[in-house]
Chain A
Amino acid sequence: MSCWDTVQKYAFQSIGYGERVLPKSDITLCDQFTLIGSGMMVNLYFGILAVMSGFIFANALAMAKFSGNPWTRKPAEWFIFLFRGSPLFIQFFFAYFLFIYLKGVAPIFGPLSAAWLGALIVLFLNTAAYSGEIFYGALLSIPKGDMEAADAYGLTGWSRFRKVMWPTMMRLAWPAYTNEAIFLFHATTLVYFSGFPVWRQQGDALYYAKYIADKTFNPFVPYPILAFYFILLTLLVILLFGLINKRLNRHLPQAQRSKVKYKPNLIR
């Protein structure tokens, strides 16, 4: 069987098209690249949706934590502490069993116990908490002069936030937020190892890598392939976020622009 046949057979395995049964023996290098690549689509699905939805919620969280009103500040602080202070792995487990319980209460909660929705919700809340903290930190470090200038122009309320605070906050937070996004993509590999069941062997990249490593009893091929895909993804994220960073900094003189640096040093 040529490699192209394999690609046709397994390239969309993770989203339910093509061959349903995974190869059990004689797993070739081509099989491995195709299957793990197919799994990457699931990681991308979780990562992209969680980052985009989490971004909006994170902004709200940062504003809430920044506000002087304890009725909005306290809940935001607790939310951020809850999700940043506990391991994502435990959050997945807890959420999964909570969703199972809810399913028993009312069948309308049924889809929550499937990974595509349940795990996405957990990732969304988790990344919102981490990004919210980043944005909050950036809000605190907006230069005093910027706010004074806004006051001098007579900007108040929403227009002051929209035209001065928010763009500066984004600009200051962006390098850290880039790393957060990279790390979220890495965290998506936890989904299928933490309770959420794999349906019809449609898992993510790590699920396939582990499947192959278990079948061939040789970890030295599938895991480096996985690493290759993730390094590629990381570079892609850096490129994309770097472009946005450039746009956010476009009004500044060259020397003052902050660069996006790959610097992840956290685990969830």
Chain B
Amino acid sequence: MRLHGKRPIIFSYCSDPSLLEGLKWLSCYLTTGKHMGFYVSFGTVLLLLAITAPAALAFGFGAAMLSRARLAPVSWIGKGYIAAVRGVPDIAFFLFFVIALDQGIEWLLHQARCPDWSDPIRQGNDFVVCDIAKMPLGTSPQWIHETYGFALAVLTFAIVFGAFAGNVLYGAMSSVPRAQIETAEAYGMTRRQAFWRILVPQMWVYALPGLSNLWMVLIKATPLLFLLGVEDIVYWARELGGSKMARFTDYPHGDWRMWYFLVLLVFYLAFTRVSEVVLARITLKLSHGQATVGGEAQRKAA
């Protein structure tokens, strides 16, 4: 097997890399098929962020609503979820959920599709479900396996970060001045109306500092995708950086993993910096006209 595929060739002079030198060699090396996979995996990271951020927010919103419930056992569920996820190393949760969710889904499918199955599902060290309950089915094409793995990763991220977001949103909901709710009640709004029409629109200003922090945290958690078995940037950096011998590739080189991880380090630093700048702008915009210290400072400056 040739580790660096010959196709697709972007530059015409790349047909015989052994004759090339310097920048030309580098330009050919950086455009091999494997490197394209590396560049695409940056997209995977961004896709994960784009899906996970709203999903985690939804989980967090649910958790915050549960925590506020008037029925004590319901609020314990919300608070317990938030406390449990925050008290344990996150990476343990990632490793746990990825297997637990997989087994949970297979177990449910097994119950639904093979009701006549009599053998126990846990046999010693094995987890056995009937063939048509396997997720994904053994006959599925490769892309379904990859998508399923990615979906599990997204769900895991959403569960873990949902707890963090839930904590932030719960705090924000309690920060909205009580007088606002009282006014809503005076207008004859029901509890539900007051929640959706008064509390929720106002809580975002209070939630923003916490949520921006969470966004930074989420960015820095994306390399953990690697632990969940997704072919992300960490996977490719290890794969591409390892030393390659001339026997197996057109582009032999020594151990370059250090340089590949340096690129990742710079990528994350740049991403963090850009996020910081953008979030600062949003904060500025949202405090405009608010009865807060930030809003007051803007009014005085104008």
Contact = CB atoms under 8 A, between A and B. Distances in A.
B95 A227 contact: no
B92, B164, B234 interface centre (most CB from chain A within 10 Å): B92
B2 interface: no
B255 A101 contact: yes
Interface stretch (A79-87, A143-151, A168-176): A79-87
Contact of B261 (A82, A97, A262, A267): A97
Nearest to A219: B99
B92 A227 contact: yes
Nearest to A100: B255
B214 A265 contact: yes
Contact of A223 (B87, B92, B255): B92
A166 interface: no
Interface string A216-238: 11111001001100110010000
A93 interface: yes
Given A189-B91, A265-B210, A217 B126 contact: yes
Given A86-B272, A93-B234, A265 B89 contact: no
7 contacts: A88-B220, A101-B255, A186-B88, A189-B91, A217-B99, A227-B87, A230-B92
Interface in A50-80: none
Contacts of A227: 84, 87-88, 92
A149 to B, nearest CB: 26
A90 B103 CA distance: 30
Nearest to B160: A267
Given A85-B273, A93-B261, 16 more contacts: A81-B269, A85-B268, A85-B272, A94-B265, A97-B257, A97-B258, A100-B255, A101-B258, A206-B91, A218-B122, A223-B95, A226-B88, A230-B89, A265-B210, A266-B213, A266-B217
A228 to B, nearest CB: 9
A220 B265 contact: no
A247 B103 CA distance: 49
B89 A86 contact: no
A193 interface: yes
Contact of B234 (A90, A216, A231): A90
Interface residues of A, number: 43
A86 B125 contact: no
B144 interface: no
B13 interface: no
Interface in B84-139: 84, 86-92, 95-96, 99-100, 103, 122, 124-127
Interface of A: 25, 81-82, 85-91, 93-94, 97-98, 100-101, 186-187, 189-190, 193, 206, 209-210, 213, 215-220, 223, 226-227, 230-231, 234, 262, 264-268
B150 to A, nearest CB: 19
Interface in B265-298: 265, 268-269, 272-273
A89 B223 contact: yes
Interface of B: 84, 86-92, 95-96, 99-100, 103, 122, 124-127, 164, 167-168, 210, 213-214, 217, 219-224, 226-227, 234, 237-238, 241, 255, 257-258, 261-262, 264-265, 268-269, 272-273
A216 B125 CA distance: 4
Nearest to A189: B89
Nearest to B220: A87
B210 A217 contact: no
A266 B213 CA distance: 8
A176 to B, nearest CB: 13
Contact of A267 (B90, B100, B168, B257): B90
A262 B261 CA distance: 34
A224 to B, nearest CB: 9
